[in-house]
Amino acid sequence: MVKVKVPATTANLGPGFDTMGMALNMYNTVEMDFHHSLDITISGVGMNDIDTDETNIVYQAAKMVFDKAGQECKGLRMHLHNEIPVARGLGSSAAAVVGGVVAANNLLGSPLNEQQLAELVTEIEGHPDNVLPALIGGIVIAGWGKEHLLYHKIKPGAQLQAIVAIPEFFLATKKAREVLPTQVSFQDALFNVNRASLVVSSLLTENYELLSEVMEDRLHQPYRSDLIPGMNALIERTKQVGAIGVVLSGAGPTMLALTIDNSDAVAATMQQVFTEYGIRCTVRRLVPIMTGAEVVL
């Protein structure tokens, strides 16, 4: 039996749509063992929102490792314990995919190396920005090259905190991608190239004064704001009380504020603004982490 612990992730970091993400200290665990049939049990959050049959994505991801390794999968016994809320923008599907792939790879004696795991989880999820930090931790910038996935990991600054306001309602990534345009203007593309580059350089140099001016986006957030009541007001007011950057976490509806200090005021303001817009939410204070999925048993 193997047990794998996988972190939550926040994707995009504002302008880095489908490209950047960061691992956070909130975890799901996957326990997995060989079995003659499929037997899935679940505990923790979202127990009633996750399938326990062959459509379960932890199982589907695990089965792909068996296929790649040329091994028959007769069944699996799995217990999933979840802390990451489902369909809220904190990488629940990425954690499920990474948990399934890493647990199965371990069970089979590690036939796939890190590069192969990174490519497999990206193919399954469709984009690398949640699955890569879930797999290897840290802040990761990633994208497909001609043949291979290219990725680079940055160490988050030690002072950086991540406050997340998690609304009670679900927003499936599929739905939040349906509102995106098929084309954008040259000016908006240029704006995001500029801002994403400045986000990376300010994270690398821990220049939070610069970071506070550049976590802006024109490729996805403007189109998604109608799906998240209060999003723009929350960004504006949370920045006024000292957050470095305030952005949509992944596809939403969770909002992410990066802070160094002023965390109490930032957390209270996020809660307050969502409440004013009639949205019940849970605010959690998290920190970026350098460790991705790890085998704990």
Ligand X SMILES: N[C@@H](CCO)C(=O)O
Ligand Y SMILES: Nc1ncnc2c1ncn2[C@@H]1O[C@H](COP(=O)(O)OP(=O)(O)OP(=O)(O)O)[C@@H](O)[C@H]1O
Site size for ligand Y (CB under 6 A): 23
Question: How far is 44 from 37, CA to CA, in rounded Å?
Answer: 23
Only one of the segments 56-64, 109-117, 200-208, 277-285 lies at the binding site for ligand Y (rule: CB under 6 A); that segment is: 56-64
Amino acid at 198: L
Q: Are 94 and 128 in contact (CB under 8 A)?
A: no
Candidate list 128, 250, 253, 288; residue touching ligand X; CB under 6 A: 250
Point out the residue whose Cβ comes nearest to ligand Y. Answer: 250
Q: Are 28 and 81 in contact (CB under 8 A)?
A: yes
Minimum CB distance to ligand X, residue 94 (Å): 7
Q: Are 295 and 2 in contact (CB under 8 A)?
A: yes
Considering beta carbons, is residue 254 or 271 the nearer one to ligand X?
254
Question: Hey, is 155 helix, strand or coil?
Answer: coil
Cis before 167? omega within 30: no
Considering beta carbons, is residue 6 or 198 the nearer one to ligand Y?
6
Contact flag: residue 238 with ligand X (CB under 6 A): no
Would the annotation count 162 as a binding residue?
no
Candidate list 92, 122, 202, 269; residue touching ligand Y; CB under 6 A: 92
DSSP 8-state code for residue 111: -
Contact flag: residue 11 with ligand X (CB under 6 A): yes
127 contact choice in ligand Y, ligand X, none (CB below 5 to 8 Å, kind-dependent): ligand X
Within 14-53, the residues that bind ligand X by CB under 6 A are 17-18
Q: Report how far Cα 56 is from the mean position of its chain's Cα atoms.
A: 19
Find the DSSP H helices in the chain. 57-68, 92-107, 114-125, 128-136, 173-178, 186-205, 208-214, 221-224, 231-240, 263-276
Minimum CB distance to ligand X, residue 46 (Å): 16
Minimum CB distance to ligand Y, residue 80 (Å): 5
Would the annotation count 89 as a binding residue?
yes
Binding site, residues? 85-95
Binding site for ATP, residues? 85-95
